Structure 1
């Protein structure tokens, strides 16, 4: 969940902010070998071309896109009576459009491209180091986060006005659907430049990366907790992909309301949510408290996952595979530190399941879980 966050200017925070920003870089090594495409990319990065891209989406696509995405997302929850009435749906769409308009305004303020050569040292002695070209599509991620914060918080707050708390899942889903529809309107070069912004919007409302960075302020450089998180953040996408592939093997016939695990849209959501689990784990490590998992991650899973056809057994296996994969990549000296928080996560989910008193489906949302989430969001 998104909470108002201020990141201080200290070395430990700046280290993690740099890693956070790297999530939205684009490897353009292969593109640079295509002079024509690379030339088109340079043109598309000019202020004039960025303005044309933004105008195209605002004038011809944006409002229709969000309406269409809203219809798709609502159909995903159609079995929940009155979860989103027409008035709430209209208000949600209005806030979503405001977010996208602001993103496009910021996108137009950028000029040119920042491409950095990245050298990867190869472990094999007779293989030369690899050099890749990384495009920093979002030059200042903290500025982007700060400029979008109030709009995203207002957008997120819409779930409070809903009759059914599971609407919180709809808010993330709408961004997911809207991004897909917007991307379909972009040229290949526009996608390279703008997709990182769209990815940021979807992640920012769901994954507490910014809070992970802010929590680093209480740790000195070289401290065990900060070192652990520094080492693990860049591995998050790879860890998520590994766990997702394992889930595909274990549950080849699993289907949620959105489709099977191998469906591209479901895969996208799974990978995003695996990143979300990791972010909450590292937030707990840096805050030295399991409360973010107890007060946010667990209630969200209880409220949202069964609404889209994900059973408790799947969540259990998902969590276990993720913890196992993380543990295999953690250095020995950090394993005991990590264990405190992985066990805390296991216990938090166990307690939630015990309170639900259900062996299969999660049907009723306990009031204490709702109150936890409400208090945390409004505190």
Structure 2
């Protein structure tokens, strides 16, 4: 009998050890794969946020450039005092203005005096920042992630000619601050915490399996089911975040003063057709509701502008008047009515638009 018991015991151990090893290896691989995929997804999500912020920052630089070009015969100091010094600036977000290799303005008066005798190549002391500055093209706004003074910035810049001189205007925002101030930071932290919890859970499960697998094969199945459920939950969270980011267009509404500069730039680039529409709203609330519904009706080629207290101006690129009327008709109600839809096709139309809406 003793020999039989001994034989039974020796038969159980070899059968259990391979299962334990295989289970441990599978859990470790699953945790590593889940962690790696989650890391990639979070990085993609962060790059998407930075790209959205970069696009908005490019638009801001374009507006400032338009302000500079609105008036001729200004000297460097006039541009700095009348425009750049009036812009919000901090240690983490500021303007840099240079002419050829001369640094004309950096952040504020104190920083400007500090870099007054420094060349542009010296200020932009990293390879990435120098390459970005060298790649700037006339009146073409670009953005990139660069390092300046051991800090990482999201930089938007443009090269432009004014009074027969070459100038470079850049807006620099520190990357970490930009992300910290982003409304999606909380979601990103939740995602990272969620991934860490999953990985810790997987490791803990593997340790528990090492002690209990010999007694309960059923528990092993339950743990594997939990891992799959957590993976599905992570996928659903990523889908929800992607859908929320896709439909967030609240920042795509410009002020009234940007109407004419936008149309002028389109005319200079010989973009046709350009269709102009003015829509009357009874209240600000009805205007807000129009913008919310327009996300689903009007495509990305229709620029939205606030006009007056409650009204709206739409500028449609490569869209005919009939196409725009059809889209607007779906959005009309008793508080929203179309006042005018017309084609801007030449300089005469442009002058009429300037007289009415500038």
Range class of TM-score, shorter chain: under 0.3
- Structure number with larger C-alpha Rg: 2
TM-score (norm 2): 0.28
TM-score (norm 1): 0.27
Larger RCO: Structure 1 or Structure 2 (Cα < 8 Å, ≥ 6 residues apart)? 1
